[in-house]
Structure 1
């Protein structure tokens, strides 16, 4: 399978158009959560839910769900998608508090707008509601899949904090952190999509593996975008990871290919990343070691693995869009 490259945002728009009815119902389910919330929470949720992201996870779930022999029940798919998106949003609200992020999706973050205490509790409420969305799901393993994904997100965040600023972070630990923090929820969305497509267990497991590879690639590209590598109209501040002491894949590649003196100099630069021109020096050193290119190649490897699994799916328009999403991911600019 060797599909042609295309702009990721264009491809994602085409994918969303293909499953627009299910995504529209997903938005309705999400807004019902806001409208049915108690006073003092409802208006905040309406504001929060109005800041729509790319809906990558729910779009992937919908595409996979429609790859089977029979069209899935739209309400089941919509509630599953809403659960995934609400869990993702709750994690973002909490992550922004932990990271001290002031901008998300081009708008002021929840904790900056409402204060940290309220934002924490709003995030908790959204997390609770994400579970409620699938409480009546007929496939009884779906709520467990969502709960497991939530556990992994939380553990991944704790692991990241435990290793914050650790210049000797291992590749194994880095992979475990991003597997939990990012890939786990995309893996869950893909697994649920396979269940709703009516796939047999081996193919459902393949869907999960495919989602995990896609999620790992997604996070690695995010690591690159944080440095401005390949970025275009980025809706969040650059160098957030470095400023928060997070050692990500480009730096890991650099440390694998540098002298003791270069390591010492880089560690010193990282500690002064907020200083004028220091970020530029870090980027120059990473470019010199081709660290960005190596990280991008690793992301591409994960995407190739995902594409190989997608090749097992029935051939239809939905599978074609999945392939197009995977093929264009490595060149996304935001």
Structure 2
């Protein structure tokens, strides 16, 4: 099942989410409207809100609150992107200028804060303490992940375990919440709720691992950013960590220097080290293991076309080229 077929299963719901996002972005402050619309319409994959919609339907939910929560998830995700780009001093995302590059860091941070606060305003309207509990814990964990990543930056001694902690906190947690919320809305028992959470966590981990592999494998036109952006920011992702473990002494020396200093002065040597140590293949294999675990977590979910779509999302997460 390809990604367009998957989206087609919940097309009406997804359109309702888009309409709600635009409606809830409205503010009396013109800059919030302008900047918020720019970010929301900048071409993201919208996988996290898609996951909310599919999970809710797969868990038998027939109401409308999944629309509200899918928009909440997208607002939280967008807020983290705004803050990320400021912390990383990024000027490009998805092939377009970042909000902070256009409007400045102050505006980007404050509009990110607006999106966070608006998302909590929206989730309150669902009237579920369990939903509040999951999402408040999620946003706290994401913030911890941001700090963990900051601590890892420019540190060539970052281990694979520390790197995976960042993924689990910073990226996978929102995927986990997205799938878990579907089970909560569907009134599922605790075992299935936790199984859906595991599905989301492994899916998000696989997704991020492939993102980190793509950073060293595709051009700007393919993924909307430049090869080696993570290296330029001094981020020791899994391809670099693996190359550090298995490279020659000369390669390790250059890799350490590249991570410590950031920038792309040694990009050719870094790419050679990544290729000679099969670091991309190792990262892809790690992602596939996570996708397999995600699909295993769905074993007790009743059969439906939406369950098949969740399988399809796991496959897409590791087979994509963008």
Aligned match of 2:5:
14
What displacement does 1:107 show?
1.8
Q: Are 1:230 and 1:331, in contact at CA under 8 Å, matched by a contact in 2?
A: no
Aligned match of 1:274:
264
Partners of 1:77 and 1:71 in 2: CA distance:
8
Partners of 1:85 and 1:16 in 2: CA distance:
16
What displacement does 1:36 show?
4.1
Correspondence 1:293 to 2:281: yes
- Written as runs of structure 1 = structure 2, the 5 A alignment for 1:181-196 is 181-196=170-185
Partners of 1:310 and 1:231 in 2: CA distance:
35
Correspondence 1:44 to 2:32: no
Higher relative contact order (CA 8 A, sep 6+): 1
Q: Which moved more, 1:286-295 or 1:40-49?
A: 40-49
Aligned residues: 321
**Aligned with residue 132 of structure 2, among 112, 135, 143:** 143
Partners of 2:275 and 2:172 in 1: CA distance:
27
1:300 and 1:39, CA in 2 relative to 1: closer, same or farther beyond 3 A?
A: same
Correspondence 1:28 to 2:19: yes
Deviations 1:106-137 (A, max 9, x none): 22110111111111111111111111111122
What displacement does 1:273 show?
4.5
Q: Are 2:171 and 2:204, in contact at CA under 8 Å, matched by a contact in 1?
A: yes
Q: Which moved more, 1:289-298 or 1:33-42?
A: 33-42
What displacement does 1:46 show?
2.7
TM-score, with normalisation over the residues of structure 2?
A: 0.94
What displacement does 1:42 show?
2.3
Q: Are 1:194 and 1:207, in contact at CA under 8 Å, matched by a contact in 2?
A: yes
Partners of 1:328 and 1:184 in 2: CA distance:
19
- Written as runs of structure 1 = structure 2, the 5 A alignment for 1:153-164 is 153-164=142-153
1:88 and 1:269, CA in 2 relative to 1: closer, same or farther beyond 3 A?
A: closer
SS in 1 for 2:193: helix
What displacement does 1:64 show?
1.1
Correspondence 1:122 to 2:111: yes
Partners of 1:28 and 1:243 in 2: CA distance:
37
- Written as runs of structure 1 = structure 2, the 5 A alignment for 1:1-334 is 11-68=2-59, 70-74=60-64, 76-228=65-217, 233-270=222-259, 271=261, 273-275=263-265, 278-334=266-322
Q: Are 2:234 and 2:258, in contact at CA under 8 Å, matched by a contact in 1?
A: no
Q: Are 1:232 and 1:333, in contact at CA under 8 Å, matched by a contact in 2?
A: no
Q: Are 2:78 and 2:115, in contact at CA under 8 Å, matched by a contact in 1?
A: yes
SS in 1 for 2:31: coil
What displacement does 1:192 show?
0.3
What displacement does 1:272 show?
6.8
Structure 1 regions of 5+ residues with no counterpart?
Answer: 1-5
Structure 2 regions of 5+ residues with no counterpart?
Answer: none
4+ aligned runs moved over 4 Å, structure 1:
229-232
What displacement does 1:38 show?
3.2
1:37 and 1:319, CA in 2 relative to 1: closer, same or farther beyond 3 A?
A: farther
What displacement does 1:72 show?
2.3
Partners of 2:76 and 2:189 in 1: CA distance:
26
Deviations 1:207-231 (A, max 9, x none): 0011000111111111111112598
What displacement does 1:203 show?
0.4
